[in-house]
Structure 1
Amino acid sequence: MLTFVDLVRWLFILMSLTHEELVEGKRIWNVVNKSIIKTIKVETNEIIDCYDIYRQPSLNHPLFCNHTIQREPNSYPKGMKSDNFGTSQLTQTWHKYGLCPEGTIPIRRKGKNYDPTLLRKHRPLKLSPYKTNVTSPEDVNGGHEHEYAIIEVEGNFLGAQAKINLWQPVTEIYNEMSISQIWVSAGPDDNVNTIEAGWQVSRKLHGDDYTRFFIYWTNDGYKTGCYDLFCDGFVHISSTIALGCNFTEVSTFNGRQKDATFSIYKDQSSGHWWVQLQGISIGYYPSFLFKELSKRATQVIWGGEITNWKSKGQHTSTQMGSGHFPSEGGLKTSSYFNWVKVVNKNYTAEDPENVGIHVSNPDCYGLKIDDDNYETNGYGFYYGGPGYNDKCQ
């Protein structure tokens, strides 16, 4: 029979193995989690957990049984930009508070603002304002619209790339978001497969208005799928770049410009779809996650997206890109995509051809191909706008 002293001793041992931590208003129990090698607390109340790369959560996906992690791409498309990746060395704010050791990956811990209903995204169906029938206290019109200023090409592709200007657009309400990204997709609208990468501002998803690196995927027309590592699927490789974390620097109006090169391409050997940022291999989506994207993409889209909830009974003032139209001026005024490339069926990067330009609401947001700076910036365009204005009601 245990004495009182023995009982106290065992309780002390148990408490040393199990501790409770209050993070962003949530109580988190950490019971000798051997997957997490290191934890980094960031000033903004963010927490970065450094997971053993071989024990990362995505490997819990049932399709990953006996999967061998690919630590680096086996191939790289010919002619894809491999230098001049951006205007400065890429850093994320959490780097100032520590780094993850080699052999681990940084994962931003879910906080009190985590909302699983935001795991679903939307494709620019028919490339026009897309109505989503959901209800919300802010939703006075019974739904919200996704609006776009984008270019797109159709054909057979093995990847895409672009250097995207980094800004911090203002969103009008908590529910709204502003995104600049690349879509690589295949399949019909109701069952589309897509891989997406870029930057976004979303207070509801992240709890603040910082400009954050994101990826997204779906294999069933957005019925399932998710951002970043909110669900299993993406195999994270990099120990230096965290998904869902903010960039240290963004562009300023009429001032210094910041940009970063985003790439999505298919490994010719393994078939996996790799995501790169500034030439850093972040990780990959295994080809076996997809049906339509298992062999190739049939559509690539580049550009901006916002959500419009019309919370005041009028068009939102949520900004796209820099918040300024291309007609207001180019560099330092409007936001841009430079070095826009597709990877063709011969695994060679080239300029897009037969490009379609689609702006869902030209009075609110715009897009203009940049024909004047091809020699220095490659194929590119300016895009964005302020949302609500005298013409945009």
Structure 2
Amino acid sequence: MRERQILGFLSIYRLLSLSLARGITLLPFHLHSTRGTASGLELVPRSTNLCQPLDLPGSNGRESDSYGVVFDCVDIYRQPAFDHPLLKNHKLQIPPRSYSKSLITHFGLQESCPDGTVLIRRTLKEDLLRARAFRGPLKPQKDQSFTPMSYTSTIPGQHFALLLINSEEGSKVQATGAVLEVYPLNVQQGQSSSAQILLVDDSSNAVSVIQSGWHVDPDHEGDTQTRLVTYWTADDYRKTGCMNMLCRGFVLLSRTTTPGMVLTTGSIPLNMTKVVVGDEVVGYFPKEIISGMSGGTEVQMGGVVYAPPGQKSPPMGNGIQPVHSGNYRAARFTWVAAQGARIANWTVARDVADTNVYDATIME
């Protein structure tokens, strides 16, 4: 008899429907972490527009963090995003400065980039090789019955437990957010574990998605650290988009914080059209690259794990059994919000072998 391993769950509660927001803005959500945690997005580029390694115009010095990752300080107007053909006439959107020096030590850097530059994780040849070999994004498949059992993963070995919030036809979610808790996880080579929030617009054949969170993925990252992750696509993950800065499109604004950076401690708010860590605006997804996306028809948030088929899967959340066992110490998404749309329905979608191992439970 196979030994049961308690792998964890995500408890999702306090669903809120808030007032209409202008444009596509996503409410900040906090990520609470302890040292060595894992969560976020486990997506890698299908794009043919990958950035070239080591060649960064306008670079002004390099920084290494405590984990050996190398960063460059690049002229804000000469960053790779503006090489994207759709951003040729894009006007940089610079918010009021919110730089906090305390963020530097949180993420292992000794000093910030100079004024007029942005921090970018250097893309190495190894990063591109790992990206091209990656297994692909989370794409739950569903049928019209809209029941938890009607969702499956498109990737063998991948399991998920998600809250899905769907808007009524003709109405789009303008903002979404939650508070995520993150804990240390034991994730082995070949495995990954993540927590994420996605805003999806599938009102046309060109499905657009923007997403953010964090993950641990030794095969893709080359280590087991928790990293800030972003992802976008304008065509359902076919040819456009990528994770972090592995292709052109995501516009950087910060001198201290950047996608791909290790996150170790603290309460980290994120905002998805604008990605915000603490009070620092990291960057944003320009509308030009996401087909003028004006909101989302669906919000997805929850946990995703992967292991090669037939092998033991890694923990999800914090590795504690689901709440229906009477244990309320499992990882939680709290203060869940979907704003600016008439909500048609919401449900939990699971692609799991055993809900005593992985599950998501909505708590009123």
Whether TM exceeds 0.5 here: the answer is: yes
Within the alignment, does 1:62 sit opposite 2:85 as a pair? yes
Structure 2 CA distance for aligned equivalents of residues 190 and 201 of structure 1: 31
Tell me the secondary structure at the aligned position of residue 297 of structure 1. coil
Aligned-residue offset at 1:188: 6.3
Structure-1 residue corresponding to 2:12: none
Which fold has the larger relative contact order, with Cα–Cα distance below 8 Å and residues 6 or more apart in sequence? 2
Aligned-residue offset at 1:93: 5.3
Structure-1 residue corresponding to 2:361: 368
Structure-1 residue corresponding to 2:191: 176
Structure-2 residue corresponding to 1:275: 275
C-alpha distance after superposition, 1:46-78 (max 9, x if no partner): 1011111111111100111122100128xxxxx
Q: Which amino acid aligns with 2:305?
A: I
Q: Which amino acid aligns with 2:254?
A: S
Structure-2 residue corresponding to 1:320: 316
CA contact (8 A) 2:160 2:351 kept: yes
C-alpha distance after superposition, 1:71-109 (max 9, x if no partner): 128xxxxxxxxxxxxxxx766754443222232211111
Structure-1 residue corresponding to 2:95: 72
Tell me the secondary structure at the aligned position of residue 235 of structure 2. coil
C-alpha distance after superposition, 1:355-378 (max 9, x if no partner): 21112212430112233xxxxxxx
Q: Which amino acid aligns with 1:300?
A: V
Structure-2 residue corresponding to 1:164: 180
Which segments of 5 or more consecutive residues in structure 2 lack a partner in the other structure? 1-52, 97-101, 143-149
Tell me the secondary structure at the aligned position of residue 297 of structure 2. strand
Q: 1:130 to 1:324 in 2, by over 3 A?
A: same
Deviates more, 1:92-101 or 1:47-56: 92-101
Structure 1 CA distance for aligned equivalents of residues 205 and 192 of structure 2: 23
Structure-2 residue corresponding to 1:354: 345
Aligned-residue offset at 1:330: 5.7
Structure 2 CA distance for aligned equivalents of residues 319 and 116 of structure 1: 23
Note the aligned Cα RMSD (angstroms).
Answer: 2.7
Structure-2 residue corresponding to 1:339: 335
Structure 2 CA distance for aligned equivalents of residues 149 and 278 of structure 1: 27
After TM superposition, the score normalised by the length of structure 1 is: 0.67
Aligned-residue offset at 1:326: 2.6
Structure-1 residue corresponding to 2:301: 302
CA contact (8 A) 2:179 2:335 kept: yes
Q: 1:355 to 1:369 in 2, by over 3 A?
A: same
Aligned-residue offset at 1:281: 2.2
- Of the three residues 85, 106, 110, the one matched with 2:123 is 110
Structure-2 residue corresponding to 1:148: 160
**Aligned ranges for residues 28-47 of structure 1 at < 5 Å?**
35-47=58-70
Structure-1 residue corresponding to 2:74: 51
C-alpha distance after superposition, 1:286-343 (max 9, x if no partner): 112223x622211111111112313xx34x2311111122336666x31111221122
Structure 2 CA distance for aligned equivalents of residues 123 and 92 of structure 1: 36
CA contact (8 A) 2:63 2:72 kept: yes
Aligned-residue offset at 1:29: 6.8
Structure 1 CA distance for aligned equivalents of residues 61 and 107 of structure 2: 13
Aligned-residue offset at 1:124: 1.9
Tell me the secondary structure at the aligned position of residue 345 of structure 2. coil
Aligned-residue offset at 1:183: 0.5
Tell me the secondary structure at the aligned position of residue 153 of structure 1. strand
**Aligned ranges for residues 85-104 of structure 1 at < 5 Å?**
94-104=107-117
CA contact (8 A) 1:39 1:49 kept: yes
Aligned length: 289
Structure 1 CA distance for aligned equivalents of residues 115 and 327 of structure 2: 41
Aligned-residue offset at 1:34: 5.3
CA contact (8 A) 1:40 1:49 kept: yes
Aligned-residue offset at 1:222: 1.1
CA contact (8 A) 1:129 1:145 kept: no
Structure 1 CA distance for aligned equivalents of residues 193 and 232 of structure 2: 18
CA contact (8 A) 2:166 2:344 kept: no
CA contact (8 A) 2:306 2:313 kept: no
Structure 2 CA distance for aligned equivalents of residues 189 and 323 of structure 1: 38
Q: Which amino acid aligns with 1:108?
A: R
Q: 1:259 to 1:366 in 2, by over 3 A?
A: farther
CA contact (8 A) 2:173 2:339 kept: yes
Deviates more, 1:321-330 or 1:55-64: 321-330
Q: Which amino acid aligns with 1:295?
A: S
Structure 2 CA distance for aligned equivalents of residues 301 and 223 of structure 1: 19
Tell me the secondary structure at the aligned position of residue 130 of structure 1. coil
- Of the three residues 264, 268, 272, the one matched with 1:260 is 268
Q: 1:122 to 1:304 in 2, by over 3 A?
A: same
Q: 1:180 to 1:154 in 2, by over 3 A?
A: same
Tell me the secondary structure at the aligned position of residue 354 of structure 1. strand
